[in-house]
Amino acid sequence: MIISRLSDSEPVLNLKDLFQEEISEIEIVVKLNQLPERAKRANFKLLEEIQTVLKRCTHLNDNQRLMYCESQRYFMKQYLREMNKQR
């Protein structure tokens, strides 16, 4: 529910918080350049988590281990693609 503050001296100016600020082109370029770095870090973090599961979870059967290894392989490929793009 939006509460208007009409008693304020300039109620129209108080509505500016309801709208998103315009993002400059420079900010957009900076954010686009940060995307590969985020993807690289996310893939590496997932690789570490999968490796931890494979090491610590002794209750996994062979089929479950195979599924974790396949997902580990997938994220390793993604990570390496991101690393190769930087060169």
Per-residue pLDDT of 34-59, as tens digits, reads 777 777 888 888 899 999 999 999 89
Domain ranges of the chain: 36-87
Cβ-contact 48, 9 below 8 angstroms:
no
State yes or no: pLDDT of 8 exceeds 50.
yes
Q: Residue 51 has what pLDDT?
A: 92
Q: Kindly indicate the confidence band of residue 1, based on its pLDDT and cuts at 50, 70 and 90.
A: very low
| E strand or H helix at 81 | helix 62-85
Q: Residue 17 has what pLDDT?
A: 57
Distance from C-alpha of 10 to C-alpha of 64, rounded to nearest angstrom: 63
pTM to 2 decimal places: 0.56
Per-residue pLDDT of 71-85, as tens digits, reads 999 988 888 888 887
Q: Residue 72 CA to chain centroid, in angstroms?
A: 18
Q: Residue 26 has what pLDDT?
A: 80
